[in-house]
Structure 1
Amino acid sequence: MKPVLRTMTAADIPAVHALETATFPTDAWPLELFDAELAQTETRDYWVYEAEKRILGYAGLCTVLPFADVQTIAIHPDTQGHGLGRALMQVMIDKARERRARDVMLEVRKDNPVAIGLYLSLGFQKIHERPKYYRDGTDALIMRLRLRDEEDNQ
């Protein structure tokens, strides 16, 4: 069955959190944080990919102008490499444009070449490095996708 992209709901949180802890064992968000994020509807947008009642991936975006920040993105290991991560990133980029953000920002583990490659292929650029950003001491790369110039007020 083809995965369906839809808005994340509170009912999805247990399955999303299970995928979160499996994907990011040292940096997983606490369950309550997902509840708090979904409650902030004016600045937050969250999506899931679902197939046969199984969450295959999820993503979240925070937009506080002029920036949109990728809060989180994860794809189930069994379904990686099939374009779901790229599709979720594109949904977030499109939502950032819709919300009139100038830039989309994200942090990524410096030791995650697959994710870094995806972000570079979407036009993100490395703009900074945060030493020991993650709990296990791994550095983060800060990346930005410029959606429009500062002078563009349209």
Structure 2
Amino acid sequence: MTDLGQIECKVLKEPTKELLDELYSIEVSAHKSPWTFDGIAASFDGNIVIVCFLDKKLVGFAVMQTVFDESELLTIGIMPEFQGRGLGKSLLSASLSEVKKRGAKKCFLEVRVSNLPALGFKKTGIRKNYYAKTAVLPAEDAYTMVSEL
């Protein structure tokens, strides 16, 4: 419990069509270059999807991939009206705890160089022109980052 309300993050295995619609709405509102609806639906095939609720309202989600003892944060997002309140940190913490329970010792991610640094992650390299130009964003390099679990 926080001054915000009750935060609950949990693994979601089989979403309903309505829940997929909500996840897609969060993705579109939280990112300038969002995943497609089909991409979000496909993320349930072989990945770990963690959802975040605030007072039983879905406010965010993350998608993690784990292969052997390594994991990768594929996407994470919190509805804009709930950003800046620590919910992203709670979601990231729950996501890292989940992959650690499944045997991951490290977690990797790529992030736009213009993004804020990921909490607890260290820069390990740079990928030139990793992100393609979109209608709203220029082409951009990505930092490769890692967190020891």
Tell me what 2:109 maps to.
Answer: 106
Measure the CA separation in 2 of the matches of 1:98 and 1:65. Answer: 12
Task: Determine which of 101, 126, 129 is the counterpart of 1:129.
Answer: 126
Asked if the contact 2:29–2:80 (Cα under 8 Å) also holds between the matched residues in 1, the reply is no
Measure the CA separation in 2 of the matches of 1:146 and 1:49. Answer: 23
Amino acid of the residue matched to residue 102 of structure 1?
K
1:20-79 deviations in whole A, cap 9, x for unaligned? 112223x21111122222132xxx211112246642111111000131000110011111
Task: Determine which of 23, 28, 39 is the counterpart of 1:33.
Answer: 39
Task: Determine which of 48, 59, 63 is the counterpart of 2:62.
Answer: 59
Tell me what 2:136 maps to.
Answer: none
Task: Determine which of 29, 37, 48 is the counterpart of 1:22.
Answer: 29
Unaligned runs of 5+ in 1: 148-154
Runs (4+) off by over 4 Å: none
TM-score norm. by structure 1 comes to: 0.79
Higher strand share: 2
Tell me what 1:82 maps to.
Answer: 85
Say what the alpha-carbon RMSD is for the aligned residues.
Answer: 1.8
Does residue 5 of the first structure (1) align with residue 9 of the second (2)?
yes
Measure the CA separation in 2 of the matches of 1:59 and 1:18. Answer: 14
Secondary structure of 2:38 counterpart = helix
Asked if the contact 1:65–1:102 (Cα under 8 Å) also holds between the matched residues in 2, the reply is no
CA pair 53-95 structure 1, distance change in 2 beyond 3 A = closer
Q: Which has the higher contact order (CA 8 A, sep 6+)?
A: 2
- How many correspondences in the alignment? 137
| 1:84 Cα offset (Å) | 1.0
